Structure 1
Amino acid sequence: MSATIKKELLLEGLDCANCAAKIEHKVKSLDSVSTATMNFMTKTLTIETAATAEVHDIINEAVSIIKKLEPDVTVKEKRMANAEKKTLMLNGLDCSNCAAKIEKEVGNISGVKSANVDFVSKRLIIEFNSKHDEKRIVDEVSKIARRIESGIKVAEEDKNSKKGDEYGINRLEIVKLAIGALFFGVGVIFSFPFWAELSLFLISYVLVGGQVVLKAVKNIIRGQVFDENFLMGVATIGAFAIREFPEGVAVMLFYQIGELFQNIAVNRSRRSIKALMDIRPDYANLKVGSEEKTVSPEEVKIGDIIIIKPGERVPLDGKVLEGKSMLDTSALTGESVPREVEAGSDILSGFINKNGLLTVEVTKEFGESTVAKILDLVQNASSKKAPTENFITRFARYYTPVVVFAALALSVIPPLIISGATFSDWIYRALVFLVISCPCALVISIPLGFFGGIGGASKNGILIKGSNYLEALNAVDTVVFDKTGTLTKGVFKVTKVTDHGIIPDMTILEAAAYAESYSNHPISQSILQAYNNAYDKEINKDEIENYEEISGHGISVKVRDRIILAGNAGLMRKEAIAYEEVDAAGTVVHVAVDGKYAGHMVISDEVKDDAANALKSLKTIGIKKLVMLTGDSKAVGTKVGQTLGLDEVHAELLPHQKVEKLEELEKNKSPKGKLVFVGDGINDAPVLARADIGVAMGGLGSDAAIEAADVVLMTDEPAKLVTAIKIARRTRVIVWQNIIFALGVKGIVLLLGAGGIATMWEAVFADVGVAVIAILNAMRVMKAEKL
C-alpha cells in the first residue's frame, strides 16, 4: 500500500447539508486525491492524498471549491494528532497593543499553524507542525517579543507553579517618579530665570519620561512607529518645543502615574481571575506498601492508591476504597452543599475533603483528570475570540494611525488657511490629539471583560469554551432540550400502583418485586427499590420457584404456590388474561396471579426538581421558543411537555431524526437568533455539533460531554443555563459600557482639543484615566458568579 498524507479542514459556518455533499464530490474528483470525506455534523472535510502529491496546491484547490459553493464559510486547517502545541509565558508584557503585534508576527513564522496571545494571563499558545521546529520557533518568538516590547522574557509555562508571573510593581520606577515629581513641583511653585526653569523641568522630564522616549526611539529603529511610547514622546517633546515646559512634564508625569494605576488594576484583575480557578492540587499522598509518599499529581498512575486527609484537595479522579467523608464540590460545580461519599463512590479531582480520611484508587492520570481538563478549557477559552474582541483588535490597528495623521493635518493646515492662526496654537491642539490616540482602554478592558465572564461562569460550575460562545449566548431565542437526563432525572421510579386486591396476604407491589427480583433491567430495579422503600426489607429469593423470562413480554415465577405474571400488555394477551387498558405517561407493568388480573403499576422517569422553574425563567429572560426532542413515546413526551410548559414536543425520534428536526427549527428561528441544544453530551453528539451552541447537561466527570459541547454545565440542573445566559448578558453590558465610555470620552476630548478648549490635562484623562476606569469596570463582570 502506497503512503498517503491526511489533512483535515474545518468549515466554520457550513449550514447546508446539500452543499456539504457537493463539496465532498468535487474535492474527491481532484487529481492526486485518493479520498475525501465530508462530516457535516462536525463540519470537517478529511482529504487523503498520495505522499508524492503537492499537498499545499491540493488544499488551495479544495478551499477554492468550498468558497465557490459556500462563500461565507471560513476554512481552517484542523490540528492533526501529530501537530504540536507549546505554551510560553511572556513575562514583562505590559502593552496590550504589543500583544496583538506579537500574536500576528508569531502566526507568520514558518511552520506555525496558529498563535494566540492572552494578554490577561501573559500566555502565548502556539501550534506548529513538527517537534523538530520547536527550538527554532521558540527562538524566533523570543526575538519577535523582545523587538516589539523590550524587557519581555519568554519562558516555558511552569504547570506545577501556582505563582507564575507575580505582576510586581517596579519600586525603582516609583522612586524615579517621586523625585521627578519633586523637581516638577519646585519648578511650578517657585519663579526662576529661564535657563534654571528649563533645567528643572528638563531634569524632571528625563526622570519621569526618559524611559518612554528611549523605548520610542528603539521601537522606531525596529519599525514599530505607532505605539504609545512614540505618541507620548512626540506630544511632550512638542510641548517643550513650543515652550510649554510645565505641561510637557505634567503630561508625561500623569501618563506614567496613570500607567502605574493601570498596571495595578490589570494585575489585581489577573489575580482575581486566577483565584477563581485556583483548583489545581499541589500534591498527592501516594500509598507505597505500608508507607505514604508525597508526590506530584503527575507522578501518580492509574491503579495507584492515594490517601486524602481532611482539609486536602482531591488530586486525581478515583474510586473510594475505604472511608466516609463530606466533600466540598463548590470549586467545580458552584454548589455550596457538601456531597457525602463512601466506599464505592466516584470522586473527582478539585473537590475538597472536609472531615474523613479517604483511601482512593486512581482511575485517571492527572492529564486526563477532571481538574486538568477544566483548567485547560478555561485557560484556553481566550483563544476563541468573540466578534467584539476581533472588531476592537482591527479597530485599534487603524485608529492610532488615523488620529496621528489627523493631528499632523491639524498642526499644518489651519495656520495656512485661517487668517491670524499661529502654528504654536495649532501644534498644541495637535499634541492633544496625540495624547488621546492610544486605544489601550479598549484593547485591555474588552478581553479582560470576556475572560472575567468565563472565570465567573466557571466558578458557577459552567464551562464556556470560548469568548465567542459567551457572546453568542446573548442572542439565544430558541432552546431545544433532550428529555432523559436533561429535563428528567434519567432514573426510573414507580409513580402509580393500581391494586385490585385479589391476592391474599400479598400486595401487587410485593408480587411484582418477586417477579422482577432476578432482573437487572432499570424497570425491574425501580420496582425492587419501591418495594424496599415500602417494606424496608429485601425480597426472600428462597420463596421463588420456576423463574422464567418470556422474551419481549415479561416474567413468570412461582411464589407460595401462586403463579405470578408481570409484564406488558402483550404478556396479558399471550396468556389470554383480560386486563385493564392504561394510557399513562410511562411504562405500564401489568400483574396477574393464577390467571387473574391483579392490577398494574406505572414506572416513569421523574422530572427534575428545578426543570419547571428553569423553563419558566428562560421565558422570563426573553427566550422565544422552548422545544423538547425525545426518542421516548408520544404519550410520555406529551405528558412531560405539558408538565413543564414547553412550546413544542417531538417524540419517538431516532438520532438522525433529531438532527433533521433541529435543522427545521434552525430555519424557523430569527435571522440573528441563536439555537441552543441541551443534551447529556453522550448520546446527543450529532445534535450538539449541529446546534449554534451545544450545551452538555450533567457533564460532571463525563469526557464525552466535555468533548462534544461548547458549554458544559457541571451539574445536572437546567437552571444553570439561565445563569449562563445572565452571565453572558452582564458581560456584554459591561463590555459595551467600556466601548461607549472610552470612545465617547476620547471623541469629546478630540473635538474640544481641535476647538482649542481641551488642554493636555483633559487629554491625559482621556487616555490613561479612561483606561484605568474601563479596567476597573471590566473587573465587575466577575461578580456575575453571584447571579
Structure 2
Amino acid sequence: MEETLLLKDLNCANCAAKIEDRIRKMAGIESADFAIATHQLRLTGAWEDREALKCEIQAICDAIEEGVTVTDYERPSKALMDDHSHDHGSDAVTIGIIGVGLIFMIYEALTTIVPGIGMPESIETAIYYIAYVLLAFPVLKTAGRNILKGEIFDENFLMSIATLGAIVIDALPEAVGVILFYRIGEFFEHKATDRSRTEIMNAVDMRPQEVRVVDECCGGEIIVMAPERVEVGWTIEVRPGDLIPLDGTVLDGSTRVNTAPVTGEPVPIRAERGTQLLSGCINESGRITMRVDKPLGESMVTKILDAVENAASSKPKIDRFITRFARVYTPIVVGLALIVAIIPSLLTGEWHKWIYTALTFLVISCPCALVLSVPLAFFSGIGNASKQGILLKGGRVIEALAGVKAVALDKTGTITSGEFKVHSVEPVNDSVSESVLLSVAAAVESVSTHPIAQSIVEAANAQNLTFTVSSDVQELAGEGIVGRVIGVQGLDGAVTADKVAIVQGLASRGEDVQVLVGNRRLLERYDVTGYSADASVYGTEVLVAVGKQYVGRIIISDEPRVDSATAIQKLNANGIKTIMLTGDALASAEYIAKQTTVSEVHASLLPQDKLFVVQNTRAVYGPTMFVGDGINDAPVLAGADVGGAMGSGADAAIEASDVVFMRPSLQSIVHVIDLAKATLSVAWQNVVFAIVVKVIIMVLGLMGYASMWWAVFGDTGVSILCILNSIRILNRK
C-alpha cells in the first residue's frame, strides 16, 4: 500500500530526519520519505488500520518535535496557497520578545561605550534574568520535555546547556546575547525556509484560481467557478492574457498561445478550432472557447505539480549521507566539548576559560545547516527544471544526470522531428511521370493512418493531384498495402492511361487495377520483379507496383530538428559521448549523423538490441543516459542509468522515464545536464561551507579567539546563508 500524509509545522530539518528514521522502524512500514520542502510524508508498506497508523506517527512526532500535526494530505487550492493572510500571532510574540532582548543588548553596549551610564548592579542583574527567561523559556521548555522522552542531542538541549553554563560561569550578559541571537537566527531561518518553499512551489504551481464556464442553458452566460468543480465536456471561455485553465480542445476563435510555462518553448503557437491545448499555457491574443477534455486532477498543471512534489520526496545519495553524518556529528562534538571542558582545565586550572570554550562547541554542534541545505538545493533544481518544461523524478535523478558520460539518442522523434515527408518521387523510367506515381500511391495510402502513408497523401494534396480512393484494401503488417484503383489523373486532370502504357491492366479509364505500395517483402509476396535494392538511399523506400509491374519508388525522410546539431555539438564539446540508436537502415542513420555530428551510430536495431548497445556503452564510457519517446523504448529507458522521454508528457512517457522533456528539443538535454551539475555543486558548496565554518570556529575557540556569538553564527547564520545559496538555482538560466 501507498499513503501520503502531511506533517504540518515540521520545520526543523534535524528533527525531521529523526522522525523519518523512527517511522521507518515501525511495523509494516517498508519505506518512509519526508520532504521538508513540501511537508509530505510518503509511506509504502502493509498496515491494517490507517487511523492507528496516523496515531502512531503522531506519537512519534510528539516525542521529537512539539506542535507537529499529522493530517491527511490534501493539496490546497491555488487561491488558498496564494493567500498570505494567515494568523501571525506567534510571529508577533516572537518579534516582541526579540525586541525586548535587543533593547537590553543595546543598553549593554552603551554601558560599555559611554562611561557613567548604568543602573544598580542588582537591578541590572534582575533585568538580564528577566530577559533571559523571556527569550529562553520556549527553548528550555522543549529541551526539558525532550529529555523526559529520551531525546537529548537536539538544538534545544544544546542551547540550554550552553546558555545555562554561561550563567553558571558568571557570563550572564553573554548568555542573554547568545540566546537572543539564536532566537533571531532561528526566526529568520524558518522564514527563509518558508520563503524558499513558497517561491519554488509558486514557480511550478500553474493551477488556475477560477474558470469562466459558458452556461449554454442560459444563453451563453459566463459563470465563474473553482476549477475543481468543472467537469469534462463543459465549455469554458479563455480571454486574452489568461492562463489555459484545463486541458481541452478549441471550439471557437483563434489565437496565439505561449506554451513556455509548460514546455519551455519560447515561440508561441497558432491555435484555432480543433487545436488541443494544455493547461498552464498562456492565451496571448484572441478570445477562445474550449471543450474541457480532462478534469483539474488529470490536467497538465496538476501532473507537473505532482511530478515536482513526488521528486521532492525522492532523496539523493548526498542527502542520505548527510542525514547519517548528522547522527554521529552531534554526539562527537558534544563528546569533544566534555573533553575540552575537563582535560585542559585539570591541566591548567583555568576552568572558566575551558568551560566557556566547551560551551561554544555545544552551540555549534547542531547539524541543521547541513541537514536543511541539501534538500532545498535539490528542490530548487527540480523547480528550475519544471519551469523549463523538464520533469525530474527526484534528487537521485539529478545526481545521476550530473555523472552522465554518454547520451544515447533514439533517431526518429528525438534527433529528428518524427514528421515523415516525401523526400523524392522516382519513377522507374520516363514512361511514368512523378505525378502519376504519387497519385497511384496516394490512392492506396489514403485509407491508412500510418505516418508514412499520411505523408504520401499530404504530398499528393500539396501538388493538387486528384485520385480515387482505392477499394478492396488489405494492409499487411510490416509489408505495406494492397488495393484496387480505377483510373489515374495527373496535374492537368486528364486521363493518363497513355502515360502508363507499360502498366499491365490499366487499358482504359473505367478499368481498375491492383496496386501494391510497400517494401520489398510485399513485392516478393506478389511476384513483382524489376526492382533492385539500393542500400545507399537515405530514408524509407516505399515501392509501388501496378498489376505485376514495378513502376517506381517514393523516398520518405524524417529531417533533424532545427536545434539537434547545436545541442549535440554542445554535448560533444562537454566531453559527453553522443550515440544514435535506430531501427532504420544504416544509410539513413549515417545521413542524420553526418548532419548532426553524432559521435557513434548503431542502425537496424530491434528494441532488445538498443538495450544491449546501452549496456555496452555504459561499460565503455560510464554512466549513460538514453533519450527516446518513452513509450516504445520502455526496456531501454529502464536499463539506462537515466531514461529520458522526448514528448508532450503523456502518461506512458512519465511512467517509463526518469526525465520527461515536455519541449521536443535536444537543447533540453544540454540544459538538464548542466542544471544537474550546478545543483550538485551548490549542495556540496553548502555542505563544505557549513562544515568548514563550524570547524574553524571550533579551532578558534580552542585558541581563545571565538566566543559563543561566533558559534551562534556557525549554527543559524550558516543555515540562512546555505538556504539563500540554494534558492539561487531556481532562477538559473
1:652 aligned residue: 604
Deviations 1:34-80 (A, max 9, x none): xxxxxxxxxxxxxxxxxxxxxxxxxxxxxxxxxxxxxxxxxxxxxxx
Alignment length (residue pairs): 688
1:517 aligned residue: 443
Alignment partners' CA distance in 2, 1:436 and 1:578: 82
1:372 aligned residue: 302
2:389 aligned residue: 461
| Deviation (angstroms), 1:302 | 4.0
Alignment partners' CA distance in 1, 2:208 and 2:230: 13
Q: Which of these residues, 360, 373, 376, is aligned with residue 445 of structure 1?
A: 373
| Deviation (angstroms), 1:308 | 3.6
2:506 aligned residue: none
1:510 and 1:531 in contact (8 A); partners too? no
Report matched runs for 1:494-513 at 5 Å. Answer: 494-498=422-426, 502=430, 507-509=433-435, 511-513=437-439
Alignment partners' CA distance in 1, 2:643 and 2:304: 17
Say if 2:205 is the partner of 1:278: yes
| Deviation (angstroms), 1:578 | 7.7
Q: Which of these residues, 620, 623, 632, is aligned with residue 668 of structure 1?
A: 620
Say if 2:557 is the partner of 1:608: no
1:689 aligned residue: 638
RMSD: 2.9
- Which shows bigger deviation, 445-454 or 202-211? 202-211
Tell me which amino acid in the other structure corresponds to 2:691.
Answer: L
1:184 and 1:200 in contact (8 A); partners too? no
Say if 2:25 is the partner of 1:86: no
| Deviation (angstroms), 1:233 | 1.1
2:679 aligned residue: 731
Alignment partners' CA distance in 1, 2:480 and 2:388: 46
Q: 1:127 to 1:548 in 2, by over 3 A?
A: closer
| Deviation (angstroms), 1:678 | 0.7
| Deviation (angstroms), 1:105 | 2.3
1:111 and 1:133 in contact (8 A); partners too? no
Deviations 1:497-525 (A, max 9, x none): 4579836xx95145413441342343343
| Deviation (angstroms), 1:408 | 1.0
1:387 aligned residue: 317
2:649 and 2:661 in contact (8 A); partners too? no
Alignment partners' CA distance in 2, 1:591 and 1:690: 40
1:529 aligned residue: 458
Alignment partners' CA distance in 1, 2:683 and 2:528: 70
Deviations 1:420-455 (A, max 9, x none): 431111101101111111111111111100000000
2:444 and 2:481 in contact (8 A); partners too? no
TM-score, normalized by length of structure 1?
0.81
Task: Please give the secondary structure, in 2, of the residue aligned with 1:314.
Answer: coil
Deviations 1:177-233 (A, max 9, x none): 111221233244244444233212212212222222222112212222111111111
Q: Which of these residues, 618, 623, 646, is aligned with residue 571 of structure 2?
A: 618
- Which shows bigger deviation, 422-431 or 316-325? 316-325
Deviations 1:270-319 (A, max 9, x none): 12101211212334444554245544444444444444444443333233
Alignment partners' CA distance in 1, 2:293 and 2:118: 78
2:31 and 2:45 in contact (8 A); partners too? yes
Alignment partners' CA distance in 1, 2:129 and 2:529: 109
| Deviation (angstroms), 1:694 | 0.7
Deviations 1:345-365 (A, max 9, x none): 222222233343434333334
Q: 1:491 to 1:192 in 2, by over 3 A?
A: same
Say if 2:98 is the partner of 1:177: yes
Alignment partners' CA distance in 2, 1:195 and 1:761: 25
Q: 1:281 to 1:553 in 2, by over 3 A?
A: closer
2:584 and 2:605 in contact (8 A); partners too? yes
* Structure 1 gap ranges (5+): 1-82
2:417 and 2:561 in contact (8 A); partners too? yes
Deviations 1:131-157 (A, max 9, x none): x52222222333332332222334444
Alignment partners' CA distance in 2, 1:648 and 1:514: 39
| Deviation (angstroms), 1:770 | 1.4
Alignment partners' CA distance in 2, 1:306 and 1:569: 47
Say if 2:128 is the partner of 1:201: yes
2:19 aligned residue: 102
* Structure 2 gap ranges (5+): 112-116, 489-494, 504-514
| Deviation (angstroms), 1:643 | 2.5
Tell me which amino acid in the other structure corresponds to 1:530.
Answer: A
Tell me which amino acid in the other structure corresponds to 2:623.
Answer: K
Alignment partners' CA distance in 2, 1:107 and 1:546: 66
- Which shows bigger deviation, 636-645 or 159-168? 159-168
Deviations 1:381-407 (A, max 9, x none): 122111100011111111111111110
2:626 and 2:643 in contact (8 A); partners too? yes
Q: 1:180 to 1:465 in 2, by over 3 A?
A: same
2:511 aligned residue: none
Tell me which amino acid in the other structure corresponds to 2:631.
Answer: I
Deviations 1:524-578 (A, max 9, x none): 4323323444x4x3x3336x89998897577775321414678568559955558
Say if 2:727 is the partner of 1:779: yes
Q: 1:356 to 1:432 in 2, by over 3 A?
A: same
Q: 1:134 to 1:315 in 2, by over 3 A?
A: farther
Task: Please give the secondary structure, in 2, of the residue aligned with 1:208.
Answer: helix
1:153 aligned residue: 69
| Deviation (angstroms), 1:320 | 2.8
| Deviation (angstroms), 1:636 | 1.6
Task: Please give the secondary structure, in 2, of the residue aligned with 1:606.
Answer: coil
Alignment partners' CA distance in 2, 1:139 and 1:611: 54
- Which shows bigger deviation, 467-476 or 311-320? 311-320
Report matched runs for 1:328-347 at 5 Å. Answer: 328-347=258-277
Alignment partners' CA distance in 1, 2:324 and 2:474: 69
2:58 aligned residue: 142
Q: Which of these residues, 714, 717, 734, is aligned with residue 662 of structure 2?
A: 714
- Which shows bigger deviation, 723-732 or 352-361? 352-361
Alignment partners' CA distance in 2, 1:266 and 1:223: 28
Report matched runs for 1:406-421 at 5 Å. Answer: 406-416=336-346, 418=347, 420-421=348-349
Q: 1:220 to 1:497 in 2, by over 3 A?
A: same
Higher RCO (C-alpha 8 Å, min separation 6): 2
| Deviation (angstroms), 1:593 | 9.3
2:425 and 2:438 in contact (8 A); partners too? no
Q: 1:553 to 1:696 in 2, by over 3 A?
A: closer
1:392 and 1:442 in contact (8 A); partners too? yes
Task: Please give the secondary structure, in 2, of the residue aligned with 1:115.
Answer: strand
1:241 aligned residue: 168
Report matched runs for 1:125-136 at 5 Å. Answer: 125-127=42-44, 129-130=46-47, 133-136=49-52
1:57 aligned residue: none
Q: 1:548 to 1:561 in 2, by over 3 A?
A: farther
Q: 1:289 to 1:221 in 2, by over 3 A?
A: same
| Deviation (angstroms), 1:335 | 2.0
- Which shows bigger deviation, 553-562 or 427-436? 553-562
Tell me which amino acid in the other structure corresponds to 1:330.
Answer: A
1:502 and 1:598 in contact (8 A); partners too? no
| Deviation (angstroms), 1:460 | 0.6
Q: Which of these residues, 339, 364, 370, is aligned with residue 436 of structure 1?
A: 364
1:183 and 1:203 in contact (8 A); partners too? no
- Which shows bigger deviation, 439-448 or 287-296? 287-296
Q: 1:376 to 1:569 in 2, by over 3 A?
A: closer
Alignment partners' CA distance in 2, 1:545 and 1:145: 72
Q: 1:595 to 1:465 in 2, by over 3 A?
A: closer
Alignment partners' CA distance in 2, 1:659 and 1:580: 29
Q: 1:128 to 1:302 in 2, by over 3 A?
A: farther
Tell me which amino acid in the other structure corresponds to 2:634.
Answer: A
